[in-house]
Structure 1
């Protein structure tokens, strides 16, 4: 069983390209974190302001570790979130791995 985070972000219209570029830039670093099993960033094809982030960790401590990184604090919290018009984060437990 894994701990899964699915975040849906809607960027402000003038910030969408910046958000896309920054997610592309930081994805390899997030994937390299010790407890990150998977990190994917998607952009909705019929609404380019909408992004879906899929993150999978072995347990809740993996996400807690990710959220405590300097990258998360400096880039996600301080830089990207202010560029969003809307943000929803959902937590799941996988059961059919």
Structure 2
């Protein structure tokens, strides 16, 4: 059963362009992962420092592999997360 992730991020306004660029770079890498089905990055229309990611993987193991990828360490752990002031992540199975 496909595994879905919804992540909501908010950074300081001065970091928004850096975070946006890292998320778009992450999207390019993730879409090439064999277990990835979907990786959509949304920019909030009322808050330029807020982003929502919607991701789907073939299963939980594919998501776990995603979190171990070098591009995850570089872009998410190294660039995005240190700049976040808010972060929430939800996980679920696609029905």
Return the TM-score normalized by structure 1: 0.92
Alpha-carbon shift at residue 48 of structure 1 (Å)? 1.2
- Structure 2 stretches lacking a partner, 5+ long: none
1:87 aligns with 2:87: yes
For residue 34 of structure 2, what is the aligned residue in structure 1? 34
Stretches of 4+ moved more than 4 A in 1?
Answer: none
For residue 7 of structure 2, what is the aligned residue in structure 1? 7
- Structure 1 stretches lacking a partner, 5+ long: none
Return the TM-score normalized by structure 2: 0.94
Alpha-carbon shift at residue 13 of structure 1 (Å)? 1.6
CA RMSD of aligned residues (A): 1.0
Number of residue pairs the alignment of both structures matches: 95
